Amino acid sequence: MAKLHGTSFLSLALLMFCFSHSGESSRYDQEELQWLDDKDDEISMVQSRHSALTTCDFSKGKWVYDQTYPLYDATCPYLSTAVTCRKNGRPDSDYEKWRWKPHGCSIPRFDALDFLGRMRRKRIMLVGDSIMRNQWESLVCLVQSVVPPARKTVIYNGPTMAFLALDFEMSIEFCWAPFLVELRRGPDGKRILHLDSIEENAKYWRGVDVLVFDSAHWWTHSDKWSSWDFVMEGNNVYKSINPTIAYEKGLTTWAKWIDLNLDPRRTRVFFRSMSPRHNRDNGWKCHNQREPLENFSRPHVPEQLIVLQKVARRMEFPVYIQDITIMSALRRDGHPSVYGRASGDKNNQQLKDRSSDCSHWCLPGVPDTWNEILNAAL
């Protein structure tokens, strides 16, 4: 992986993408302009497409075992050690072979060349926390095998990283912003969450064609593991604040930025719902699980999803909420558990002494389905 910083990254990015914002010299082909037309009815067109997506409810369905999965090999070089569960000693592999089947409709099987062709000369950016990084690695691994080694690379700039498919002049990027709004350190080193400040993160989102957001987990950390020391809104400083109220205020700041700064004729915006954690019993709820649950008699709807839907309804910009919470909650078998790091001696006592990760996801695995749904929505 090549590491480029500062102006060198910006120069390369500008060279690759500047034509998407230039004039007559570099126009997209007509078929590549499906959401970038400048006709009078284009906003209505975007909103109609947004409404049409709801006719297929990808969030309701069941997991079916499919021997033709996974969609890529677990040796994909862009995977973090923490999610290469089989390489880390996990003895089973069935968690890689479950496919999500929605009720009454279907999800097209991911085709890497088709995806790259549709994303030609475009930037797609996933914004959020480490679970969004999980999804970014999945999406990169879904496409990278069809790109020759000399025609792909990863570059870094501040809180962002970008996989570049050079022949397609496109990028799949990740931006670290777990709150979306800004978390800064004060003079005394204390962490201050600014509910009404976002530009330091949002400056990286400008000029992107497809934005996929996620923000939930860091808002739910307990007092013992709180992600901030103080919360600020305007000149008001709070030591303690209801996390749900803080989350709504932070999301509202994000929503206002989207409404004021993005054009639905140029940019598609998605917001992925909260990825569930199977962390009860000290994180051992997912340990040794081998298959999905069939269903829930009374599915739990996270409060964060309700807040997200409330904020999105107030927006002028059409945002597609990708609800993956219930489908993923059925997959307690899909987490790294104790296989989040490599071990030469995998005896039972050593595994028992490890912490168990029931938040992130093994890859190949569940985030591949999130990306198949994203691909279908695009």
- Residue 281 falls in the annotated catalytic set: no
Catalytic residue among 66, 111, 130, 229: 130
Query: Which one is catalytic: 194, 278, 287, 360?
Result: 360
DSSP per position, 237-258: EESS--HHHHHHHHHHHHHHHH
Distances (CA, A) of 28 to 19, 21, 38, 109, 122: 9, 11, 13, 26, 10
103 is catalytic: no
Among 205, 34, 5, smallest CA distance to 125 is for 205
Residue 232 host element (H or E):
strand 230-233
Q: Which helix (H) or strand (E) holds 231?
A: strand 230-233
Grouping H, G, I as helix, E, B as strand and the rest as coil, residue 354 is: coil
Helix (H), strand (E), coil (C) string for 158-195: CCEEEEEEHHHCEEEEEEECCCCCEEEECCCCCEEEEC
CB-count exposure of residue 192 (10 Å: 0-12, 13-18, 19+)? middle
Question: What DSSP designation does 221 have?
Answer: -
Do the Cβ atoms of 371 and 139 come closer than 8 Å? yes
Specify the DSSP class assigned to residue 288.
T
The residue annotated as part of the active site, out of 129, 209, 333, 357, is: 357
Q: From residue 327, how far is each of 108, 218, 232, 235, 293 by CA, in Å?
A: 17, 21, 35, 41, 10
Active site residue 323: no
Catalytic center residues: 130, 357, 360
